[in-house]
Amino acid sequence: MKKQALLNALICAAAVTAGATAFAQSAPAAEPAPQAAPAAAAPAAQMLTIRQVYDLLEKQGYRNITDIELDRREYEVKADNAQGQRVELDVDVHTGKIVSEHRDD
């Protein structure tokens, strides 16, 4: 009886091994890695945070910086310029570049 059980176990093990080998041989080849997207499809630049805008303006000499609000593609900012005048600035949300500056009445 033990010989029969051992023989059955060996047959099962051989069948499993043969099946795994056959599966490994018939597995499809790996897909090639996708090509990099063209430059035109590059993601848009990340928006600057309010803190980043504040720090950039402060480095440029603006003080008493308040009311930083996002308006479409620009931050609207109220601040005192280097001459002490109260101004309103429009700041590009991606670059931090001042797009316009005019006195805040």
Residue 69 within a domain: yes
User: What confidence score (pLDDT) does residue 104 get?
Assistant: 81
User: What confidence score (pLDDT) does residue 71 get?
Assistant: 86
User: What confidence score (pLDDT) does residue 92 get?
Assistant: 95
The CATH number assigned to the domain holding 95 equals: 3.10.450
User: What confidence score (pLDDT) does residue 97 get?
Assistant: 95
Residue 27 within a domain: no
d(CA 19, CA 78): 73
On whether the CB atoms of residues 88 and 80 are closer than 8 A, the answer is no
In the chain, the number of structural domains is 1
User: What confidence score (pLDDT) does residue 65 get?
Assistant: 95
Consecutive 10-residue runs of the chain (105 residues): their mean pLDDT?
A: 53 52 51 57 74 96 94 92 95 94 87
**Which uninterrupted H or E stretch holds 54?**
helix 50-59
Residue 92 within a domain: yes
pTM: 0.56
User: What confidence score (pLDDT) does residue 84 get?
Assistant: 93
Residue 81 within a domain: yes
Residue 12 within a domain: no
- Tell me which residue range forms the domain holding 72: 50-103
